[in-house]
């Protein structure tokens, strides 16, 4: 399944580790001040302490320090070239001692090129049935990710599965618990502890949007927004740039391929900041990643598939067998009995 604000503070002095030990978080530090090997080593020790990192031997620690230094240089360069004050920011988060390759292997699926699947949906279009002219304020839903991980065996647990398998299980189980009743433990294939008395949400069906070759950007964004007004939306995208994300609006500038999706996330709301529209997206990396586990992803860009293909393969639960939203030339499939991945 794969399945969610930083302020940079200038330092007065960086000559030793004691000069940075009084700061609450390493994410509060001005990384441009760390230039010498001694300063970087002190920063690494602070990072290790903050994240409880312990290595097996000196060789492993030296290797991780070198990776940390390379990541630090990358983060500084990217932050220095941000397009605007609202652009996304990178920081030395809990993934700062692993390479991009290690991050992708451990936390993402193998990239899937779905560019050939766009023509699949060019059939029987209906007109939009919901109005997006006066959408309500954004909201968040918190259902149990761990219950899905433990109980939905077809979803392949933490190794990457499909959202429609999860929806099928919720229908068969007659509901799903909240994260409060069935908390997230980050365990892979734990024992299924589903208890129908804890089921807080039930669904009757599930639907999806799959873009056709004739879809336009306004149509796909409006269709996805209208669906978001009804419930959270499960979407797939290229998430390799999530590695060091700490805040701001992500515009997908470093996506390697428009269709190379490798991760599922959950759209839970939307917003705008100084004329820039964005999705509020819940990730599955924990609350100590991003903005308390969330990322803002730009919407209404000049591309029908959205930032890093976020519009391409969206799916959502349906309650009371209500008619599924669709927009012109965007197919709604209430079964979603196949995946374009």
| Dist. CA 4–CA 213, nearest whole Å | 30
Q: Phi and psi of 93, rounded to 5°?
A: -85, -165
DSSP per-residue codes, 225-280: HHHHTTS-EEEEE--GGGTTEEESEE--TT-S-TTEE-EEEEEEEEEEETTEEEEE
Coil, strand or helix: which one is 78? helix
Question: What's the chain's Rg over C-alpha atoms?
Answer: 21
Residue 263 among the catalytic residues: yes
Cα separation, 28 vs 91, in Å, equals 9
d(CA 186, CA 175): 21
| DSSP label of 324 | P
Give yes or no for a contact between 132 and 224, defined as CB atoms under 8 angstroms apart.
Answer: no
SS3 at position 318 = strand
Assign 288 to helix, strand or coil: coil
Check 173, 263, 300, 303 and give the catalytic one: 263
Catalytic residue among 93, 199, 283, 311: 283
292: left (phi over 0), alpha (psi -120 to 50) or beta: left
Q: With H, G, I as helix, E, B as strand and everything else as coil, classify residue 298.
A: strand
**Number of Cβ atoms within 10 Å of the Cβ of 116:** 9
Residue 137: Cβ-neighbour burial (10 angstroms; 0-12, 13-18, 19+): exposed
Is 195 marked active-site?
no
| Residues near 24 by beta carbon (within 8 Å), at least 6 away in sequence | none
Hey, which residues are catalytic here?
263, 283
């Amino acid at each position: 399944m794969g399945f969610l604000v930083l302020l940079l503070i200038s330092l007065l002095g960086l000559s030793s580790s004691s000069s940075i030990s009084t700061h609450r978080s390493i994410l509060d530090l001005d990384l441009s001040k760390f230039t010498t090997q001694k300063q970087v080593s002190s920063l690494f020790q602070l990072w290790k302490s903050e994240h409880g990192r312990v290595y097996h031997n000196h060789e492993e620690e030296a290797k991780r320090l070198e990776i940390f230094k390379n990541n630090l240089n990358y983060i500084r360069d990217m932050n220095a070239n941000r397009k605007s004050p609202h652009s996304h920011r990178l920081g030395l988060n809990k993934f700062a001692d692993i390479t991009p390759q290690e991050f992708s292997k451990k936390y993402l699926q193998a990239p899937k090129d779905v560019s050939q699947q766009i023509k699949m949906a060019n059939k029987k279009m209906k007109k939009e049935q919901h109005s997006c002219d006066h959408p309500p304020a954004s909201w968040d839903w918190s259902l149990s990710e761990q219950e899905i991980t433990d109980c939905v065996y077809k979803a392949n647990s933490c190794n990457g599965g499909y959202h429609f398998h999860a929806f099928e299980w919720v229908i068969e189980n007659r509901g799903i618990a909240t994260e409060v009743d069935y908390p997230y433990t980050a365990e892979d294939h734990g024992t299924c502890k589903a208890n129908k008395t804890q089921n807080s949400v039930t669904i009757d069906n599930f639907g999806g949007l799959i873009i056709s070759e004739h879809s336009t950007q306004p149509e796909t964004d409006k269709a996805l927004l209208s669906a978001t007004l009804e419930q959270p939306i499960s979407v797939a995208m290229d998430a390799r740039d999530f590695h060091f994300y700490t805040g701001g609006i992500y515009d997908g500038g470093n996506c390697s391929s428009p269709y190379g999706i490798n991760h599922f996330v959950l759209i839970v709301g939307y917003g705008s900041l100084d004329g820039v529209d964005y999705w509020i997206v819940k990730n599955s990396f924990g609350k100590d990643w991003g903005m308390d586990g969330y990322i803002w992803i730009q919407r209404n860009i000049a591309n029908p598939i959205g930032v890093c293909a976020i519009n391409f393969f969206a799916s959502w639960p349906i309650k009371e067998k209500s008619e599924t939203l669709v927009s012109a030339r965007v197919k709604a499939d209430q079964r979603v009995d196949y995946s374009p991945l």
